[in-house]
Chains A and B, each alone.
Chain A
């Protein structure tokens, strides 16, 4: 199957007051197929957010592309170069095909507008004027994402609803506008364990049924294990290891990945002190991302 998104040797830098520049992502390569969920795992400062913002066109102005390419629909007739694209085309892409989910659910909603206004606005932007007017057409989608009596919730303001309901509405909005590439950055971080599990199941289900490609950034392997098909482990901007989830989780090749997996708490296990990542494993990871090792 042809991939929907293909990233090759992408390097993004932030200039640091004119002198040394900070490399945020370092020669990252991966591809994403329709109906597939790719997990990107990395801690703070691993370049996960920069990568996600690059692919959704939300990088700060001072960031610079150093090298590499990111292509939407590679090989197809209407191939789109995400790096060179003008802002006008970005806007069209965001209106129709791209859905971005940010970290805190409640902060993505304008506190002065009702849920109905948000949904209508999204549909109007996607150019579906008729559907924006007829609320009855929205309901099947909202039932599909697991909302109960959505018609009663539409008139509410965001602060009147729990986060999980707001997240379901966000997912519903992405479905309504027909986005086929979803980019999410730690989007379940504010939820409790039960809600998170429900949302991840829903995501898995939707991705398979609707052939949606999902790029999911998270610092936790637990999320990846439940939902993703493939995983890429990031450290200091570079990919340490990537592959199918089961391969990477069961048989990690890189010492850094192994150390990162060891840090995870397990059921029934008692630790007297927190696990630390061995400095040599870090060095190993740096060597791998800079092409010294292997």
Chain B
């Protein structure tokens, strides 16, 4: 078992190398290629978006990205924004896991009832919501109700005295991300269950007089547990990609703001470090999922 674990660690190391090289390659190509316009990206639009009504950009991040800061280091800014992004991501995953599997399993269970699909349809349609648009609407709704625009202050990330408020704000960034992820997850889980409900052994159990919940949970659900567990990390890249945009739309001081602001002002350091961090996070998540699956019963992986 230790040998197996060591082997997996080696694989992880190799993957890190491969993905880091890939990120570096992408950033290098982006930075060294011919420019259509010599100036910074986005032209006039950039100036407009900086002064959005949804709050100002986090001051220290802007200072770092634009190179105006003297006291703040890249490393500190990176650490702070990673922590903030990580919190949002954790919230989003928590919300996704508390809704997605429930409705996914129900959709698989009541696959023959058209009314249930009709009840689910808003949730399924959420898979196609533009996250940044929902973020904008949420901000508008917030200001209408408690007069606080945006999440621009540094306190949002560090916590400070008002922990409940910090929690509330972070979760509001996470909700648009989670909403979309729930849509995807429900579709995926329901699809997997429907597919495994068509297996002959399920029909055979049915022909022995089994039916209803017992047939579903004992033969269909339990048999598709393995692919379901393996697929939890699959939606992460899309989720994280969306989070970048939503964070920026909210002016949340996370990795998203850092990366997009760096992209908009063609900052090599911000792009590279942000990309490396994101890819590291994803590779680690994938590795954890894979390692967990290795320790599942062997016959489960034989399906």
Contacts and interface: CB of A to CB of B under 8 A. Distances in A.
Contacts of B210: 121, 125
Nearest to A91: B209
Contacts of B112: 61
A56 B206 CA distance: 11
Contacts of A103: 200
B200 A56 contact: no
A8 interface: no
Given A108-B200, A159-B302, A126 B209 contact: yes
B299 A112 contact: yes
B200 A58 contact: no
A24 to B, nearest CB: 18
Given A110-B219, A111-B302, A94 B207 contact: yes
Given A91-B211, A121-B210, A112 B300 contact: yes
Nearest to A183: B207
A59 B199 CA distance: 15
A111 B303 contact: yes
A102 interface: yes
- Secondary structure type dominating chain B contacts: helix
Interface residues of B, number: 20
A159 B205 CA distance: 17
A92 interface: yes
A56 B207 contact: yes
A204 interface: no
Interface in A71-114: 87, 91-96, 98, 100, 102-104, 107-112
Contacts of A189: none
Contacts of A125: 208-210
Interface size band for A: 20 to 34
A13 interface: no
A30 interface: no
Contacts of B211: 87, 91
Given A104-B200, A109-B201, A112-B222, A157 B207 contact: no
A122 interface: yes
A121 B208 CA distance: 9
A157 B204 contact: no
A43 B71 CA distance: 84
Contacts of A108: 200-201, 204
Contacts of A87: 211
Given A91-B211, A102-B200, A121-B210, A110 B302 contact: no
Interface of B: 112, 199-201, 203-211, 219, 222-223, 299-300, 302-303
Given A109-B204, A111-B302, A112-B303, 11 more contacts: A87-B211, A92-B209, A100-B207, A107-B201, A107-B204, A110-B219, A112-B222, A112-B300, A121-B205, A122-B208, A125-B210
29 contacts: A58-B203, A91-B209, A92-B209, A93-B209, A94-B208, A95-B208, A95-B209, A98-B207, A100-B204, A100-B207, A102-B203, A103-B200, A104-B200, A107-B199, A107-B200, A107-B204, A108-B200, A108-B204, A109-B201, A110-B219, A111-B299, A111-B303, A112-B299, A112-B300, A121-B205, A121-B210, A125-B209, A157-B299, A177-B208
Interface of A: 56, 58, 61, 87, 91-96, 98, 100, 102-104, 107-112, 121-122, 125-126, 157, 159, 173, 177
